[in-house]
Chain A
């Protein structure tokens, strides 16, 4: 059976890269006594799939890993068991058994489902933007002006090349407070059935683990994420800085992921990964 696990990553653990997070969870499942399914052969490894790897330095409220289990206890117990063996910086907040694929369905892995992600980008304390932009309202004004542009061109570097791309179509929306963001989000969400806590699903009530900074300069954004189209929030901030002649300092911004979504095939509406039963 397959299970989808949602977890938070925060604090010092933001310095652990994706491959190490995989290794971390492999060991954590073993410590927790999960009955994971292994590949065959001389070097068996756990069958698992992570959705949209998180970059080094980023924190998150919405990370997902799909695992394959030979047996499972009640989701509530599974959450408790794993959290007992996790160290500070990782916390599992949801465990959902997925339904077996129907006759003509193939099993989809978490990675291939992702199409959008919500982020909160905050200016860390101790960093200055530029005179006139340092106040929250001035920052908001400037960012709105930037986002109002028809096209936002920036050099997108890949391992082998770089090209000028318009990132505007990859940004669904931006907001400057959580309330405003939550309100706007409703327009993008599909018919979401929040899983109830039962024998197949369990979610923990938790607070966001995003760091809060005194300067209050922050922006929420929803951007394209996944194999089809992918935009890093860092690139949006770089474009913003470019627009206002600010030296872009990659260390000045704390990027925090809030949620990952898949798109409904027909409507294009979004569904959080933990509200999906497959």
Chain B
């Protein structure tokens, strides 16, 4: 029987002990003595969140498919166990073997959002691995970072031995082969890091130096190791159409956030919304094959016993075989007690039909993400959703029996005016008016319009990477303005308004576009007790402000400053596919309020075509491009 790392008295005194015992369905079991490489994957948040992540399951599959490697998992211990582990000096352990992480060869951390940075330090510290890469010895695991936040790895560069930039399907085998060779030859950590820097997509921070100007902008970013690459090329898996999808995902023993089979139908997005980082860094859009997805759905439902299946992608309505797939799932599995959980879809006859089939209309709601309150601002952000789309969609939904609508907006978008804020309230009211057009005896009580606003955070590798971000004070003013505008509407009683915390967004903004000078700030904030920053009950803004002040680092330098066109960004050394020139052109078009059609309509030469596949080569797209004059400038 598996022996647990924690004693009964500890497990019975913490919340949800199942977070720490492993033993889940489809957990891979290997004898550590039989492998050359021990790899621990980490999602630095609580178990229920980390276990819900599909990407980690894909890597878990890939790494464990190697006979010479045992890949295990670790998540952030919750605060109750964190305290006990520190008191009793218990090293953090992997769930599978329950062995200390510090004895592994690799610790691979996926970094999905900026607010988990302090949790990374928690995992390192509880593992008893030196927090700073420079302090690690030959015996410590190699610490790898991956995931969307590594498109600007600089704020956390000091904590990682190397970053893997891009999709995990491509070069992990090369890394592990190299490691095995070096380990057997008794080579040093430094020698391995130098060698691994030769693999495409790998960024070894210690091989590069940054110089700053007097105003703290970057003067230069230079390698200090001759053979290191000048630029790091993002890794893209171009053959996902019929491969790499997990078929035996882990099934947790407790309820988690995504307690269902997740089917990744495509990667990347054709839309090009200018605020959206995912829409840029996962280009080109690549669809998975319909028959392959059907096969995966079958196998996953069989191997997990899940009662629910959901589809994952950035914009599911754009998946070209969506109808076929959704009707297949309903017909094939609906009768077998499997719920089909729909992703957010463009509201039209098709989506209303399937929603009516799989949900209780009286209990479910219709979701729109206009993101901005006026057509002008929606054009600025390139959100191709018009007021007419929304009103006619809502109207159709109301006629089909729905009476709940959720609306998502961002505040603080570039060029935003008071009129745009007011537009949010007006749009919500117009939707309610659509509802009350229905004769009273045919409607289901009151309309229920929920307006949610979040604060816009400019991200690297988006056209808005140059943009200034609002201060929390400006945000709160806008929030209050919207509040009062909603109260002026005719149907104010049908509208509910929810909003996000401003201070959290500000910090996210700093970390997203930060540089290496932030490593020390993050370290100090962590040492002062900051952890689980994405959880509002733990987020401690004052401690963060103090950490910035103590280090003489200004928050507003990173947030409320419009960057110059020629400024060197901390992340410029990464070749993500989309070019900086394209992003700048898009920023200029944004300021003019000019929309850019989606990838399927016209190619605007963002740079992702260089990857040689996906939507860029679909349906004679090349011809369309040629017909349009072949280049972007010709469009203006």
Contacts and interface: CB of A to CB of B under 8 A. Distances in A.
Interface in B1-33: 1-2, 4, 8-9, 11-13, 17-18, 21-25, 27
A83 interface: no
A12 B12 contact: no
Contacts of B79: none
B304 A27 contact: yes
Contacts of A88: 1-2, 23
Interface string B239-266: 0000000000001011100000000000
Interface in A1-26: 10-13, 15-16, 20, 23-24, 26
Contacts of A169: none
A45 B254 CA distance: 17
Nearest to A57: B12
Contacts of A152: none
B253 A30 contact: no
Contact of B306 (A27, A36, A254): A27
Q: How large is the interface on B (under 10, 10 to 19, 20 to 34, 35 or more residues)?
A: 20 to 34
Contacts of A24: 253
B18 A20 contact: yes
A31 interface: yes
B305 A27 contact: yes
Contacts of A11: 1-2, 23
Nearest to A209: B1
Interface string B463-488: 00000000000000000000000000
B580 to A, nearest CB: 48
A89 B23 contact: yes
B230 interface: no
Interface string B426-449: 000000000000000000000000
Given A20-B254, A27-B307, A251 B8 contact: yes
B419 to A, nearest CB: 42
A15 B1 contact: no
A12 B13 contact: no
A10 B23 CA distance: 12
A16 B254 contact: yes
Contacts of B302: 31
B99 to A, nearest CB: 15
B18 A16 contact: yes
Contact of A20 (B22, B23, B253): B253
A150 interface: no
Given A15-B17, A31-B303, A38-B337, A87 B25 contact: yes
B359 interface: yes
Contacts of B305: 26-31, 85
Given A15-B18, A28-B305, A87-B24, A42 B253 contact: no
B217 interface: no
Interface residues of A, number: 33
B406 to A, nearest CB: 19
A124 interface: yes
A46 interface: yes
Nearest to A251: B9
Contacts, number: 81
B251 A57 contact: no
Interface string A77-100: 000000001011100000000000
B2 A12 contact: yes
Nearest to B334: A44
B360 interface: yes
Contacts of A38: 337
Nearest to A124: B8
Chain B CB within 10 Å, residue with most, of A42, A56, A88, A89: A42
A56 B12 CA distance: 8
Given A24-B253, A57-B8, A88-B2, A12 B304 contact: no
A87 to B, nearest CB: 6
B5 to A, nearest CB: 11
A42 B251 CA distance: 23
B299 to A, nearest CB: 12
B24 A251 contact: no
A267 interface: no
Contacts of A20: 18, 253-255
A13 B12 contact: no
A104 interface: no
Nearest to A14: B8
A3 to B, nearest CB: 17
Contacts of B17: 15, 56
B259 to A, nearest CB: 8
Given A27-B251, A38-B337, A13 B307 contact: no
B307 A30 contact: yes
Nearest to A42: B360
A162 interface: no
Contacts of A103: none
Contacts of A250: 12
A206 interface: no
A160 interface: no
Contacts of A36: 337
A68 B223 CA distance: 67
B253 A16 contact: yes
Contacts of B251: 27
B18 to A, nearest CB: 6
Contacts of A124: 8
Contacts of A41: 360
Contact of B13 (A23, A44, A251): A251
Chain A CB within 10 Å, residue with most, of B12, B25, B27, B253: B253
B339 interface: yes
B337 A12 contact: no
A211 to B, nearest CB: 9
A44 B337 contact: yes
A26 B301 CA distance: 13
A167 B22 CA distance: 38
Interface string B276-313: 00000000000000000000000001111111000000
Contacts of B18: 15-16, 20
Contacts of B339: 42-43
Interface string A28-58: 1111000010100111111000000000110
Nearest to B9: A251
Contacts of B27: 87
Contacts of A29: 305
Interface string B596-630: 00000000000000000000000000000000000
A101 B18 CA distance: 39
Given A16-B253, A251-B8, A27 B25 contact: yes
A26 B4 CA distance: 26
A23 B254 CA distance: 8
22 contacts: A12-B23, A15-B17, A20-B253, A20-B254, A20-B255, A26-B305, A27-B305, A27-B306, A27-B307, A30-B337, A31-B304, A38-B337, A42-B359, A42-B360, A44-B337, A45-B337, A56-B12, A85-B305, A87-B24, A88-B23, A251-B13, A254-B8
Interface of A: 10-13, 15-16, 20, 23-24, 26-31, 36, 38, 41-46, 56-57, 85, 87-89, 124, 250-251, 254
Given A16-B18, A87-B25, 14 more contacts: A11-B23, A12-B2, A12-B4, A15-B12, A16-B254, A20-B18, A20-B253, A20-B255, A30-B305, A42-B358, A56-B17, A88-B1, A124-B8, A251-B8
